[in-house]
Amino acid sequence: MVRSSVAHWLLAGLVFAVVAVMTSAPAHAAPAVPAQLNAADTMLLNGVRLAGLWEMPAGQMAAERGGRDRVRQIGAMIAEQHVQLDQLVVDAANKLGAAIPATPTAEQQGWLAEMQKASGARFDQIFVDRLRAAHGKIFPVIGAVRAGTRNPVIRKLADQANAFVMNHMKLLESTGLVRFDRLAPAALPAAQDTSGYALAKANAGGAPVDSALLWVVLIVTLGLAAAATARMFASRA
């Protein structure tokens, strides 16, 4: 009887110990809320805003001074569409409480001055060269930000900007004046290891295990041990 009582007390003690450890263990903190805007999000806001600030007057200039009918036509279209896109980026910035540029950069102002001095076929070529190059630079930025942003407002703006920029590149290319051999080469990401070695190496330490599962295993293991001990004492009683 004494040994049986000892076994029962041992089992009770084990259960108490497990409960005590579980209740004293620190609770997992909730995932941190991501910052409202990161550097990439801000880059997109500023980039789209700056594009509109100089491409709206550039398009208007092309609509009035273009040497070709097609250049005048797409100049008017690009100017009008940038008015729409500019309103979208202003609305997004207001929602996020973000400050965005109010004037084009010095470089962009230089492009506008360059166009102002040109006319006829020379104007057409400068207009297409400058705008197509600019759209080619902002296009991959939009894709990169869209792929990684955690902000729903930025994600929506990236979707909208992507549609406008893609359309503008096609419009500019429809003039037949884009000199593709002079465009900056695509900046490709570093080659990825597709052999599986990198993934295996990253997981060499083992994947994170759910702590709840660990507690279940611990309880079951201790319970089995306690039961076995009780049976041992009972058989010797």
> CB–CB of 217/224 below 8 Å?
no
Distance CA 213, CA 216 (A): 5
Per DSSP, helices labelled H in 97-193 are 106-117, 120-148, 152-173
Element (H, E) at 50: helix 39-65
Q: Is residue 66 helix, strand or coil?
A: strand
Length of the chain: 237
pTM of the model: 0.66
pLDDT score at 208: 43
Tell which residue, 142, 145, 141, 128, has the closest CA to residue 183.
128
Tell which residue, 31, 12, 120, has the closest CA to residue 72.
120
109 φ, ψ (degrees, to nearest 5): -65, -35
> CB–CB of 117/26 below 8 Å?
no
CA 28 → CA 14, 32, 208, 219, distances in Å?
A: 24, 11, 14, 20
Q: Taking every pair of C-alpha atoms in the chain, what is the biggest distance, in angstroms?
A: 110
pLDDT score at 228: 52
DSSP secondary structure code for residue 36 in this structure: S
DSSP secondary structure code for residue 133 in this structure: H
pLDDT score at 151: 97
Q: Across the 237 residues of the chain, what is the mean pLDDT of every consecutive 10-residue run? A: 48 45 42 65 97 97 97 98 97 96 97 97 98 95 95 97 97 97 76 40 41 45 52 53
CA 33 → CA 30, 93, 95, 150, 233, distances in Å?
A: 9, 20, 18, 10, 54
pLDDT score at 231: 56
pLDDT score at 2: 46
